[in-house]
Structure 1
Amino acid sequence: MDISRATRSVQKEDVWQAADALLLEGKRPTIERVRQKIGRGSPNTVSPMLEGWFATLGPRLGGVGGQTQSGAVDLSIGSGLPAALVQAMQQVWEQVQAQAAQAADAELEPVRQDLQAQQQALDDAQQALEQERNHLAQQRATTEQALAVAHAQIKMQGARLSDLEQAGRQKDQLAATQQQRLQSLEQELFANRKARDEADLAHAEQLRELQHSAQQQQHRVLQDLDRARQETKQAMAAQRAEQETHAKLDAQWQQERQGLQAQSELQAGQLQHAQAEVQQLLHRLQTAEATHTQALALQSHQHENALAQLRLEMAQSAVAQNAGRGGNATPTADAVAANGRRPMRSSAPTARPVRMLPGSRRRGKI
C-alpha cells in the first residue's frame, strides 16, 4: 500500500528530470541524491525508475558509439559531443554497470545463502544419519552382549536352582532332626519344671521358717532398741541439766567478770583524773615560783638602785659641805671613796629551794 502511494506521488518524468539535472551538475545520479532532488519518494519507488533512466541513457545521447574491450560503450567515436561530457558519461556508465553488478550480486546473495543453508542442512542430516547408524550399531552390539550375558545368567540360575533344591532337601532333613531334638527338649523341660516346683515348695517352707525366725529376732531387736532409747533419753536429760548448770555458772562468771572490768575501768579513770589534777597543780606551782622569783629579782634591783642613789646624794652633800668649810674636804672625799669601794650586793636573787608536794615525788612511779 505504501509503494502504490509513492508511485502515484512520484512519476518517472520527475525521476528522469532529477537524474538529468544531477548529470549536468557533474554528479552521479543515485537513489538518495534523486530523492533529495525531488524532495519525496521512497527508495523502492525511485530505484526502478532510476534503472530505467540508466537503460535509456545511451539511446538518448544519440545511440552512436562503440564498445571497448571491457564491454564499456565508447561515446567519443562519431558522437560529436564534447570530450569532457563524453568522459563524464563514460564514468557514469561504468558506475552504472558496477551498481548493476552489485545489485545482481545483492539479489543473488539470498539465493546463495539459501543454497548454503540447504547444503548445511543436508550435511547436518547426513551427519545425523551417520550418528544414528553408529548408535544403532552400538545398540545392536550392546543387545547381543546383553543377550549373551542373559544366557549365561540363565545357566547360572539353573545351577543355583538345583543347588537350592538340594539345600531344601538338606533343610528338610535338618528340620526333622530339629523336631526330634525339640521333643526330647520338651520332655527334659517337663522334668526340669517338676523338679523346680518341688524345689520351690521346699524353698517356700524354708522361707517361712526364716521369716518366723526373722520376726522373732526383729521383736527382740525392737525391745533392745526401746530400752536404748529410754536410756538415751535419760542420758540426754542429765546432759541437759548439766548444760543448764554450766550455763548458769558461765552467766554468773560473765557477770562477775563484767563487774570487775567496770570497776577496773572506773579506777583507771579516777587514776587518770588524779594524775591530770597533779599535773595541773605542778604547772601552777612552777608558774607561781617563776613569778615570785622574777618579783624578788625586780625588788632587789630596785632596792640597790635606791641605795646607790642615796649614797650618791650623800656624797654630793658632803662635798658641798666641805667646799663651804674649806679644810675638811679630804676626809669627806676619803669617805666618799671608801663608800665607793664598798662591795655592792648582787642584784641576782638567791634561788630558793622548790618545795615539792607530797604527791610530786611519786609522779614518775604512777
Structure 2
Amino acid sequence: MTSPKRSTFRISAVAFALATALLFGFDSVPLAAQEPEVSLEAEFGGSVEVTEVLLDVLVNDRQGNVIIGLDKGDFVVEENGEPVEIESLTFYSNRLLESPSPGLASAGVTPQDVPQDRYFLLFFQDQRRNALELPRLLSRQLDAGRQAKRWIRSELQPGDWVAVVSYDVKLKVHEDFTQDRRELMAAVDRAMKGEDTGNWPSRVKEGGGPSLTQALPQGNLLRDHTKTIYDALQVLARASGEVQGRKNLLLFTIGFGDVDSFGQYRPDARYYRPTMESLNDNNVAVYPIDLMPSGFDHTFESAMNHLALDTGGRYFFNFTSFMTPLREAAESTSGYYLLSYTARHPADESGYQEVKVSTKNPEFKVQAREGYLYGDGR
C-alpha cells in the first residue's frame, strides 16, 4: 500500500531564488521591471519546510457504496479556507477483479492489479467494571466479542490484517497484526476475559509483516504510558503509524469525555485535541461502535460521533446486531482515493494543520483525516 507518510525538505528562501535564477537565467527575469512581491523570505521567515501531504479519502453514496471513476477535478482540498492544488490522485481497492470492469478501468483498476492490504484494529473498552451498575453492558460486550469472531471467521478478505487490543486501566495487546483467523478469534476470547499477557520482549512480533508490538512500549512501560484511554489511543496511534496505509480502528465503547454542569458532553480540554491530532497524523480512522443497548440515549453519544468525524471514521449506534457495523465499516473501506499535494510552512515552526476534503458533488459522502502535524511537532 502506498505510504501515508510525508516527504519533507527545507530550503532557504535565498537559496530558492538563486536556484531559480540559475535554472532560467538571470537575464530571463527583468527584476527592475517587476512589481513588488512578497518574498518567500518575508513570508516564511527565511526558510521553508516543504511537505508532501498524502490523504486517504473514502467517497461513498448515501447507501454506503464506494464511488469510483473520480479524478482530481472532482475533489476540493483546503488549508485555512484556501484551496490547494492536488498533484496526484490514485484509486486503490482491496478487491480482486475476475473480469474487466468499465467503471473501475476508468479509475485505473484492472484485473491484473494486486488487491491492496487493509488494516483493522479491534479495540474493546472493557466494561466489566461497569457491570454492577449496568449488567446489560457486560452481556453486550460478550455479544460484541461473539459477533467479532463471526466477522473474522466469515468476512475477512485475503488482504486484511487485524490486531486485537483492549483497555481497562491500561492498554492490553491480545494479538498483533495477523491474517490468521484462529489466532484472532482466540485473541478476542482473551480480550473478553481481560487477560493480560503483556508486551514483553519475548512477545514482540518477529519477521516481516505489519506490527504494533515492535513500536509499542515494552513491559511495565506500556502500563505507565497508558493510564487513561486517551493515552492508550495516542500510544496505539503512534505505534500503528509505522504501518503504511489507513488503519481502521473499530472501537467498542460506551464513550468517554468530560460532562458539564448541564450533564452534556464536552471534549476533555487536556486530552482530546492531542489524541485527535495523533490519530490523524498517523492515519488512524476511528469507528466507535456503541455498546449501549439500542434505543438507549446517553451523554457520550456526542463524544463518539465527535471522535469519528474528526478522524474520518463513522459512529455506529442503534443496530440489532454487531455484525451490521462490522460489515458496513469493512464495505465502506473497500476502495479509497490517495491524493497528494504540497504544503509549505515556516521551517522554524511546528504545529497541527487542519485540512478539509470535499467533492464538488454534494451528494457524495467524504471521509478523510482532518489534519496533520508538521515541523518538530511530529
Q: Same fold (TM over 0.5)?
A: no
Choose between structure 1 and 2 for higher RCO, CA contacts under 8 A separated by at least 6 residues.
2
TM-score for both structures, normalised by structure 1: 0.12
Query: Rg bigger for which structure?
Result: 1
Name the structure with the higher strand share: 2
TM-score (norm 2): 0.12
Q: Which has the higher helix share?
A: 1
